[in-house]
Chains A and B, each alone.
Chain A
Amino acid sequence: MSSSTLSGESSKKNSTIQSRRSRNNSLTSGHRACQGCGEALGARCAIDAAYHAAAGKITVVNATGCLEVFSCSFPENAWNVPWLHSLFGNAAAVATGVAAALHSQGKEDVRVIAQGGDGATGDIGMGCLSGMFDRNDDVLYICYDNQAYMNTGVQRSGTTPPLARTATTVPHKNYAGSDPQTGKNVAQIAMAHEIPYVATASIGNIQDLEKKVSKAINIRGSKYVHVHVPCPLGWGYDTAETIKIARLAIQCGLFPLFEAEYGKLARSTAIEDPISIEDYLKPQKRFAHLFGKNASSESLDILRKIANSNIEKYRLGKTADD
């Protein structure tokens, strides 16, 4: 995918917030995320974008997980925004409470964000999240999807791709990796609630990520943004490759970029430079068992089917609007 550089240099437009000196650095230096952590970058990009779009008036509620643990080891804290943490599974509910409190104080201009990992969002926090959507609470929920429970040592979550190796889905004789379960498509679950805005985004396309968060933060009611954030430790690739891996996921169709309004697909980003799923999977050790001497083409077909179905369902072919 030919994206432009962060300053927009090569296309002379699209300068990102991240390229500007005026960015807020909402998540600042000294945090304890691993080298090359995609989640740390994704969070700074998303929260900076929200900060910018809401003229600095934001409050962030964080679920337990890597992001929370690496950003706040008491008494040190890496957040340059009002930030609070309660539990693993209740970020959506706490954020709802914060929004209600601000509302009752008449502070309608302060925008509320809840954020957490894929486990916090799609698994343990699903009840609270669904409730928040159901009530259409005025909260933007951002999920940083690194496709496993990273903070506790890479256990499978509902968003772990089929066949990926995790600490709890180890390849063995009968199965090449995790049992191909259906998994949870959290963006689709959010869309099923017909909330005003749902989007997927990736650190492989910062322009797009910033645009979506900036838009979402100023919509009243429930919003959901699902951000793809590769994890070098859990996925097993070189720390320098985080952005590249994110970009490849978009290009092969396994991570579709789209927006939905009130439950309906509104826009999607066409894949400019399509690649095969192998190009994306091969550099990651979590898929190593799909290649080499024990490889079976059926396993790859499972993933290829997902990519192809995404391309069709989200209209990622060249004709989609972008």
Chain B
Amino acid sequence: MTKPFATVLEASTSLNNKTGSWRTKRPEYVQSASPCNVVCPAGEDIRLWLALVKAGKFYEAWKIITKDNPFPAAMGRICYHTCEKICNRESFDGAVNISAIERSIGDMAIDQAWGFENVTVNSGKNVLVVGGGPSGLAAAYFLRMLGHDVTVYENHLKAGGMMRYGVPRYRLSRCVLDAEIKRIENIGVKIVCQKKITDINAEIDDFDAIYLAMGAHKASQTGVEIKNKPNIIDAVDLFKKVEDDFTNFLNLGNRVFVYGGGNTAIDAARTALRLGASVKIIYRRTIHQMPAHTAEVNEALAEGIEILCLRTISCIDGSKVFVNKMNYDEEYDILTPSGKTEILHADSVIFAIGQSVDVNVLHGAKNIKISEKGTIEIDKNMTTGIPSVFAGGDVVSEKRTVTNAIGHAKKAAGCIDAYLRNTTPPLDIRSEVTNLKKLNVAYFKKSAKITAPEWQNISFEERNISYSKKELMTEASRCFSCGSCFHCDNCYGYCPDNAITKRANGDLEINYNYCKGCGICATECPCGAIKMVSND
């Protein structure tokens, strides 16, 4: 075609002008860790399973939870949920109710008899787990999934450890616990109950590897002087008695004192209350200093349990309890005896002072070291001084929670697997944490979180909590998805240069031919999933 007069250039498009050359910084899609995940000792991918719940994919969510934790229903109930305390949503309008969702998904799995996939690999290796508490059972589960034969030896009548012989049934229904343990047995884990290991050396040759998870069951010593056969029971013994002979209610008398201020003290007090006693807790510091969780303290108070603070017991003489009153200086945080005493009258006193590890079973295993605190020492690969012997849970840690026990189990299983296959143990990879500063909360609407109903009656029955699927989906949708793209399309829609391509499946891609590096996409990303990096 001949050009009209004076026209020298063909009309063309600005697409010829690759403005990407202006860029000094470059946006990149990143996936960084969410705070809930980082803080979870079991390392649950909470963000991912919440997204699945939000989409109504409950089974898929359960599959994701159980990759890291075989006890969702139990943990939804009794885990202390550090994830919720650190949740970025907390300061916005309240943390996502992760525990309620986890519990509901766990219950759904029990109702619908969801099971773990059958193990298809077989390593031909045999692992012994000593102790059928959460750490032992979880390790057995993880190891079995990796193809090893696993046997669990458990001293008690039933497996479950402190989940059964510590946590009372009004907080964790035994049907739920039984179902979640049964599911582990169903994949071929052998659990032998009422079998106490008395000498670990005798087992070393029979197994390719051993995981020690005996927990901490030995009652700690107190300095209390005891005279004239008072009725004293240790909290752990109380729980065991109640549990193993549940139909035959233990008689503690009417006036029961619990000595201690931790969660165990609260559980012991509430258990005694349910056995018909009127209960008072004696604690040496102030109520605000109690190591027990505030929510549990409040529940105990609401049930009518009295808490006598700033008191220590010096002597128990028959039914007389001699108490020293303490003074507390808030400014200097000093506790001193006030010189004032009082005498109380008790039918029973429950000691809930703490438990230590019973290391007797290790007799003769010279290479296994015990720390000053009385716990078993392990290296970064969860190994004791004997290469085939690993340990985790309460036996190694002062941080005594079920998730911690499960987290140890997961890590130990990886290390045991590596040991058995002669490969390198998995590394702890910690990516950058997506804190609140990295989010843009302008895109989230305030919404109230779902809450559990109040306790209605004082019994050994669990509180009946159930949420509809819709409620669960709504609650899960409150998740900010910290550090992971949830396809909000802000970057795509806001780019002034049209430099983001959206694929048919919704995937987004930055077109660096045109991206000028303004950074709007990163600022407007609600969940911190875009990072500006230097362009070279």
Binding site for B on A (CB under 8 A): 1-7, 9-12, 16, 18-19, 21, 25, 27-33, 35-38, 40-41, 44, 71-78, 206, 232, 238-244, 247
Contact = CB atoms under 8 A, between A and B. Distances in A.
Interface stretch (B142-150, B269-277, B486-494): B486-494
Contact of B9 (A3, A21, A74): A74
A59 B240 CA distance: 83
Interface stretch (B66-74, B325-333, B378-386, B511-519): B511-519
Interface residues of B, number: 47
Given A7-B493, A44-B496, 7 more contacts: A2-B442, A19-B489, A29-B513, A41-B496, A73-B14, A75-B12, A77-B13
A30 B494 contact: no
A76 B14 CA distance: 5
17 contacts: A5-B488, A5-B526, A6-B490, A6-B494, A7-B488, A9-B489, A10-B488, A16-B493, A28-B498, A31-B19, A32-B14, A36-B519, A41-B496, A44-B498, A232-B518, A241-B523, A242-B518
A62 B13 CA distance: 17
Contacts of A73: 14
A190 to B, nearest CB: 26
Contact of A25 (B442, B498, B524): B498
Contacts of A44: 496, 498
Contact of B489 (A6, A25, A27, A71): A6
B14 A11 contact: no
A19 B9 CA distance: 35
B520 A240 contact: yes
B488 A35 contact: no
A41 B494 contact: yes
Contacts of A241: 523
A7 B13 CA distance: 29
A239 B518 contact: yes
Contacts of B486: 9
Contacts of B441: 2
Interface stretch (B157-165, B227-235, B443-451): B443-451
Contact of A75 (B11, B489, B522): B11
A18 B502 CA distance: 11
A40 B488 contact: no
B202 to A, nearest CB: 60
B443 A40 contact: no
A240 B523 contact: yes
A318 to B, nearest CB: 13
A104 B497 CA distance: 37
B6 interface: no
A2 to B, nearest CB: 5
Contacts, number: 147
A38 B518 CA distance: 11
B16 interface: yes
A118 B40 CA distance: 54
B10 interface: yes
Q: Provide the main secondary structure of the chain A interface.
A: loop
Nearest to A244: B523
B31 to A, nearest CB: 17
Contact of B497 (A4, A31, A74, A206): A31
B80 interface: no
B75 interface: no
B18 interface: yes
Nearest to B521: A240
Given A7-B489, A10-B443, A33 B13 contact: no
Given A6-B490, A7-B488, A29 B9 contact: no
B429 to A, nearest CB: 29
B499 interface: yes
Interface in B5-51: 9-19, 22
A271 B490 CA distance: 21
Given A29-B498, A239-B518, A76 B489 contact: no
A36 B13 CA distance: 21
Which of A4, A71, A74 counts the most B-chain CB atoms under 10 A from its CB?
A4
Given A5-B526, A10-B445, A75-B11, A29 B489 contact: no
Nearest to B478: A10
Interface string B472-515: 00000100000000111110111111110010100000010110
B309 interface: no
B15 A18 contact: no
A238 B519 contact: yes
Contacts of A244: 442, 523-524
B496 A30 contact: no
B489 A5 contact: yes
B474 to A, nearest CB: 10
A1 B442 contact: yes
Nearest to B447: A10
A40 B497 contact: yes
A201 B22 CA distance: 30
A7 B527 CA distance: 14
B179 interface: no
A35 B499 contact: no
Contacts of A240: 518-520, 522-523, 532
Contacts of A32: 14, 17, 19
A184 B272 CA distance: 77
